[in-house]
């Protein structure tokens, strides 16, 4: 796409011999006057002044950039704009500022990567370089692309790899000011949620860039439901934000925080709902208090076993199971149990669940004695069930984990040994990772590990014997590795991550023999041990757990 716009004028100059250029960095190169002058007004005027001169000076480009430019005008249509040369081409465009063909090539390149995942890592450095007026014909279409992509930015896991300087440069761009501040806040949170512990020190820089006066309280409350990391970051945010709106925003959390502190430290309370041996019980414990912190706090209206529970706002919703299609909620502020108006489309158990973007997702499970690959979700605003794209295989006795990078992972189970990933924000189907789990067991517990990896614990093998295996899936390398074994062979336990520990509750040690023991894995020490102060009140399995 190279335009040799000065070819007609060159006829008036007669024959142009080759010459030598002395470049900005002092290096010299032999060049064709005819090609350079034909393409570029700067060189046309330079050579026209003295057609017979054999050496000229060019202070606009050093040799690295000139070589790129010379290759561009020689190759013409076969030249490819890439991630490797785009920055050089931007410098060339800036220095000459009359290269309409190069402008078209750069814009075509930006448009071509528009639909590619991870392209924000390419866009952001480009955008920060083209604020000068000379770039207006590139800046305008790029700004349009970014406006279209900004609502989808969190779909891309590579977005989480941006460093803080790139992120801050990007969010000083003028077009951000006209976008919804809550949307920008969500993007910050997504970035922060990936490796949350190590990024907390950078949080103040991000929070200072949000105009909180433009964020409505209802909008923030809705985000509290939408974003898996929102509760964790909420308290951190209020430490840093110092304007008047900040004091209003903290009011959203005060009632919930007050009640949480009355139960124990925020993020250390665990609610256990139902189970084979106590299907109507709601138990509460605090992971860092003594055994007096364990106790029954309410009765469910319906029996719950092999069901799922999720925390949404201040309510724990329990769904389905072997005995009921109903949905009921437990309010952690009032300790009230409520039977909700919606029901499951059919009796369903041994499925998994998660809440994402105001939607309560159910994955697989057993329907009419048959494992399913179906995925359904309930829109919490409309209280209606909808069908989602199916999983890659029928699954039961599996788990669903929402990682810090915003992706949903479905663990191996039943007859399918590969981890699956699902992102509701993308239209692509479920992805199956190429590396299968080292040992596939049924009825394993699963929990997030360090906000992004996934820990699979226990289960039973083909001869119905429980196992003590512990396996970790690294979501970045997409590989499995073995972890220290648990002290007791067990299947159908439940596991949660709290701070520096992984807690494992109850389960079945062998056929029809159950345990009420609790174990924890200390990440610092790298070993499991029994938590003797935390025996469950009853031998139990197939219950659900919620941490808040």
- We report the CATH number of the domain holding residue 506 as 2.120.10.80
Boundary residue ending a domain (258, 292, 323): 258
How far is residue 455's CA from residue 498's CA, in Å, rounded to a whole number?
13
- Integer Cα distance of 453 and 403 in angstroms: 7
Burial class of residue 273 (count of CB atoms within 10 Å of its CB; 0-12, 13-18, 19+):
buried
What does the alpha-carbon distance between residue 418 and residue 403 come to, in Å, rounded to a whole number?
Answer: 17
**Structural domain boundaries enclosing 444:** 264-301+372-547
Residue 89 shares a structural domain with residue 197: no
The token pair at 454 is 């996934």
Q: Report, in this order, helix, strand and coil percent for the chain, each rounded to 5.
A: 35, 30, 40
The CATH number of whichever domain residue 42 belongs to comes to: 3.30.710.10
Same domain, 225 and 274: no
Q: 517 has which bridge partners? A: none
Closest by CA to 368, choosing from 352, 385, 345, is 345
Q: What is the pLDDT of residues 358-379, one digit of tens each?
A: 789 999 999 999 999 999 998 7
In a domain, 380, yes or no: yes
> Within this chain, do residues 248 and 293 fall inside the same structural domain, yes or no?
no
Q: What is the pLDDT, as a whole number, of residue 213?
A: 62
359 within domain boundaries: no
277 and 412 within one domain: yes
Domain identity same for 75 and 17: yes
Residue 218 lies in a domain: yes
Domain-embedded: residue 350: no
Q: Give Cβ neighbours of residue 452 (< 8 Å, ≥ 6 apart).
A: 194, 195, 403, 404, 405, 475, 476
Strands 295-299 and 453-457: unpaired
* Total number of domains constituting the chain: 3
Residues 381 and 520 both lie in one domain: yes
99 and 212 assigned to the same domain: no
Residue 461: the pLDDT is 87
Supply the pLDDT for residue 236. 47
Please indicate, yes or no, if residue 105 is contained in any of the structural domains: yes
Instruction: Choose one of 70, 96, 112: the last residue of a domain.
Output: 112
State the chain's maximal CA–CA distance in angstroms: 99
Residue where one domain finishes, among candidates 86, 112, 138: 112
State the average pLDDT over residues 170-182: 55
Q: At a CB cut-off of 8 Å and minimum separation 6, what does 355 contact?
A: 225, 228, 310, 311, 312, 361, 380
Residue of 58, 68, 16, 64 lying closest to 37 (CA atoms): 16
**Same-domain check for residues 270 and 207:** no
**103-130 pLDDT tens trace:** 888 888 888 776 665 555 566 667 666 7
User: Which of 12-26, 122-136, 157-171, 463-477 is the least confident region?
Assistant: 157-171
Tell whether the model's pLDDT for residue 256 goes beyond 50: no
- pLDDT (average), residues 403-408: 81
Does residue 221 sit within a domain?
yes
Domain presence at residue 483: yes
On whether both 405 and 474 belong to a single domain, the answer is yes
409 and 542 housed in the same domain: yes
């Amino acid at each position: 796409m190279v335009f040799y716009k000065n070819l007609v004028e060159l006829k008036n100059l007669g024959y142009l011999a080759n010459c030598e250029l002395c470049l900005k960095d002092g290096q010299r190169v032999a060049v064709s006057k005819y090609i350079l002058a034909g393409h570029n007004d700067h060189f046309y005027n330079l050579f026209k002044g003295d057609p017979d001169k054999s050496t000229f000076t060019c202070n606009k480009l050093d040799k690295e950039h000139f070589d790129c430019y010379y290759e561009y005008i020689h190759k013409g249509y076969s030249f490819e704009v890439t991630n490797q040369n785009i920055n050089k081409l931007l410098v060339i465009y800036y220095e000459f500022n009359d290269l309409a063909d190069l402008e078209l090539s750069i814009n075509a390149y930006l448009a071509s990567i528009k639909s590619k995942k991870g392209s924000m890592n390419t866009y952001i450095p480009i955008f920060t370089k083209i604020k000068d007026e000379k770039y207006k014909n590139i800046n305008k279409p790029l700004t349009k692309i970014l406006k279209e992509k900004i609502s989808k930015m969190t779909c891309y896991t590579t977005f989480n790899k941006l460093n803080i300087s790139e992120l801050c440069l990007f969010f000083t761009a003028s077009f951000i000011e006209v976008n919804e501040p809550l949307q920008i806040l969500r993007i910050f949170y997504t970035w922060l949620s990936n490796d949350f512990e190590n990024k907390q020190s950078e949080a103040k820089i991000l929070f200072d860039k949000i105009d909180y006066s433009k964020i409505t309280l209802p909008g923030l409350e809705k985000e509290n439901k939408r974003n898996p990391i929102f509760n964790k970051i909420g308290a951190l945010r209020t430490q840093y934000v110092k304007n008047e709106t900040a004091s209003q925003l903290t009011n959203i959390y005060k009632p919930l925080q007050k009640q949480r502190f009355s139960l124990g430290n925020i993020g250390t309370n665990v609610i256990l709902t139902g189970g084979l041996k106590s299907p109507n019980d709601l138990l509460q414990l605090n992971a860092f208090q003594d055994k007096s912190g364990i106790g029954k706090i309410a009765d469910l209206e319906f029996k719950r076993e092999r069901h799922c529970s999720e925390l949404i706002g201040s309510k724990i919703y329990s769904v389905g199971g072997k005995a009921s299609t109903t949905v009921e909620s437990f309010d952690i502020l009032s300790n009230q149990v409520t039977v909700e108006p919606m029901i499951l489309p059919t009796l369903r158990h041994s499925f998994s669940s998660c809440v994402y973007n105001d939607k309560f997702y159910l994955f697989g499970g057993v329907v009419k004695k048959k494992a399913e690959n179906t995925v359904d979700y309930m829109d919490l605003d409309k209280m209606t069930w909808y069908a989602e794209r199916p999983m890659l295989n029928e699954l039961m006795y599996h788990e669903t984990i929402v990682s810090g990078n915003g992706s949903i992972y479905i663990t191996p189970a039943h007859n399918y040994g590969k981890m699956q990933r699902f992102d509701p924000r993308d239209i692509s189907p479920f992805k199956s990772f190429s590396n299968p789990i080292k040992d596939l067991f049924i009825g394993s517990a699963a929990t997030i590990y360090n906000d992004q990896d996934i820990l699979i614990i226990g289960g039973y093998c083909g001869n119905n014997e429980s196992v003590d295996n512990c396996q970790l899936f690294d979501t970045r390398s997409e590989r499995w590795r073995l972890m220290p074994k648990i002290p007791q062979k067990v299947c159908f336990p439940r596991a949660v991550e709290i701070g520096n520990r992984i807690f494992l509750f109850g389960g079945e040690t062998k056929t029809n023999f159950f345990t009420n023991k609790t174990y924890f894995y200390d990440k610092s020490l790298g070993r499991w041990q029994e938590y003797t102060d935390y025996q469950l009140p009853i031998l139990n399995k197939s219950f659900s757990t919620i941490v808040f």
